[in-house]
Amino acid sequence: MTDHLLLLLQAASDTTRAYGEFPLIGARAAVWIAAEVHLMFAAFVLGVPMFAVVAEAIGIFGGDERYDRLAKEFTRLLLVAYSATAIWGAVLVFFLATLYPRFWAYLTAVFGPSMWVYAALFFLESFTLYLYYYGWDRWKRDRAKWVHWGLGILLNVWGTIVMFIANSWLTYMMTPPRDITPATDPATIKLWHAIANATWMPINVHRLIANVVFGGAIVAAYASYRFLAARTDEERAHYDWMGYVGNFIAISALIVLPFAGYWLGREIYQYDQSMGITMMGGFMSWLWVIQAFLIAVLFLTGNYYLWVGMERIPGAERFRPYTKYLLVVLVLGAIVWGTPHTMIADSKELAAMGGSHHPFLGALGVMSAKNTAVNLMILTTFLSFLLYRRANTRPVVPWARAGTLIQAAMFALAAAVVLFYGIRGYFVDAIVRIGFSVYQVLAVLSCIVFVTVIDISLGRGAKSLGAIQWGKMPARSQYALFVLAVTFTWLMGLMGFARSGVRQYWHVWQVVQDTSKYAATPALGYASKMISLCVLIFLSLVAFVFWLGGLAEKSTFVAASGPEGAKGARHVGH
């Protein structure tokens, strides 16, 4: 009895020294907000330079100055956003050091040297960004332009390394190497051993792609606001185009993202099955239904934007009758994807359902149906984009008809492969069924690659049916871009909760336990309020940041708008 009391006193004493308190919202909410908003800004400032450099390269190699200007505009958005990233990063560190001092001490004991490198790289990244932006007009010709482009690449290199370092800290919390136990002295853990943990590289890749998606979506929202606020046709044309490019970047990268997510999920399962099951079939199972809903919104809104955009393309009317069929496939796919499968239910709920699965819908909730649905949704979105791309051209190459038929056959073949393995999956063991998803993905990716290659060849010398009327876009399409930006941001918050929450009551999985009063992992309802609050803070700050950026930019835009307007009528953007 005395021993028990002593243990309790010891635990209370440990906990007192281990945690601080934050007024009103509590320590966990404070760290949650700081981390999430920091991460959102960080994703933006890491994603945008990637496509800024690509846009600049298109400007250099293609000789189209609009892309160079677009790249500069992307980079201008970075400047103030970069400061906000640093500020929120500092807030996060201060919160961790004061509210979770013991855990922070543990992390610094393991990762101290990498934190120094992180700070040094942050300096390098900052100054490279300033050089890149402020040197834009000075180094815009000949060899100097190449040097400038090199700075852009360097900016991406620093940013990527910074992200990789930060990722090592959070993935260590999730999947520490197996030989590390609660008894391991953190000072004895080899730095590289801790960094190269099971989920480090999958998270690195997943975040690289996700940052591009996120950056594209925020840029598109910025462009849509500028479009709605535009006072001249030239300005409207420019921001219509910019919005299209941003959306194109976001949706294109989004299509690849599930494959990186699949890799991450597999690594989690291989590291610890119980963690994987908790994530997919345990208390977090409902989260994936919400995720399916959000992704359905993304697919539907992204396609809607393309379909509305076809209204400003001469010749697009011949494809309009097909959009309703595309919509049917997308809606059916979204419904199947959102059908729950494994989730926690109490005895009353199970009795009401008539068993562990719904007698009819249960068959749609399994992986075979879901994989089939999402692959068909990706194919459909690609088809929407292809129709958009083709809208104002008519191929003139001699093999145009044969080429189009081959493209159609590729779509049909890919869909058939997806459906075949989807149906076959119901008749084989789970271990075999998992392998089928690889064939489905390969069929879809192959179709996308080969159809695109054929389409580029088909488009050579194609007869124009008229230029895209950039700027002649209904306002509702621009509001769709806002819905996309909000949904992407919310989805990012939700996935952050999934990744972090799967640790449950551990700071470091099965190594450092959370003994604070906030150790329980909250339900999705509470998490959704926190996510919405973070998204609101982030978007409000972004609006302020972009407004600030606009103050300095206006005059330069007007000066360049004359020739822009003339060029804006050309068929561009892909």
Partner 1 sequence: MWATNAKIVGIVLGTLALYTLIANKIPQVQSEVPQTLTLGANVTPEQLVAAGEKVFNGIGGCTTCHGLGTRAPNLLTDEKGTGPIGARCGKREAGKSCKQYLYESLDNPTAYIVPGYQPIMPVMTRQLSPQQIWALIAFLESQGGTVDVTASDVPAAAAAAAAGAGGVAGFAGGSTDPKAIIPAAGCLACHKLDGQGQVIAPDLTHVGARRDAESIRKKILDPMSSIAPGYEKLAGIMPKTFGSMMSAAQLEALAQYLAGHK
| Cα end-to-end span (Å), the chain | 75
CB of 357: closest distance to partner 1 in angstroms? 6
Nearer to partner 1 (CB atom), residue 281 or residue 403: 281
CB of 281: closest distance to partner 1 in angstroms? 6
Rounded to whole angstroms, the Cα distance separating 218 from 195 reads: 31
* Dihedral sign (CA 345, 351, 353, 356): positive
Cα distances (Å, whole numbers) of residue 36 to 159, 208, 246: 18, 17, 23
Nearer to partner 1 (CB atom), residue 448 or residue 541: 541
Residues that bind partner 1 (CB under 8 A): 178-179, 225, 228-229, 269-274, 277-278, 281-283, 286, 289-290, 293-294, 342-347, 349-351, 355-357, 430-431, 475, 479, 482-483, 486-487, 490, 501, 504-505, 514, 519-525, 527-529, 531-532, 535-536, 539
Please work out, in degrees rounded to the nearest 5, the angle formed at the alpha carbon of residue 391 by the alpha carbons of 388 and 395: 125
CB of 41: closest distance to partner 1 in angstroms? 17
Nearer to partner 1 (CB atom), residue 298 or residue 326: 298
| 172: helix, strand or coil | helix
Nearer to partner 1 (CB atom), residue 278 or residue 339: 278
Question: How many C-beta atoms surround the C-beta of residue 482 within 10 A?
Answer: 17
Q: What sections of 184-232 are H helices per DSSP?
A: 191-195, 200-229
CB of 116: closest distance to partner 1 in angstroms? 31
Nearer to partner 1 (CB atom), residue 165 or residue 279: 279
Cβ atoms of 322 and 384 within 8 Å: the answer is: no
| Amino acid (one-letter) located at 84 | A
CB of 379: closest distance to partner 1 in angstroms? 27
Of the candidates 11, 18, 13, the one whose C-alpha atom is nearest the C-alpha of residue 101 is 18
Q: Which two tokens stand for residue 456?
A: 């580029």
Q: Which two tokens stand for residue 261?
A: 């997510």
Nearer to partner 1 (CB atom), residue 128 or residue 477: 477
CB of 519: closest distance to partner 1 in angstroms? 5
CB of 504: closest distance to partner 1 in angstroms? 5
| 357: helix, strand or coil | coil
Nearer to partner 1 (CB atom), residue 55 or residue 343: 343
Phi-psi region of 393 (alpha: psi -120 to 50; beta: other; left: phi over 0): beta
**Farthest-apart Cα atoms in the chain, separation:** 93
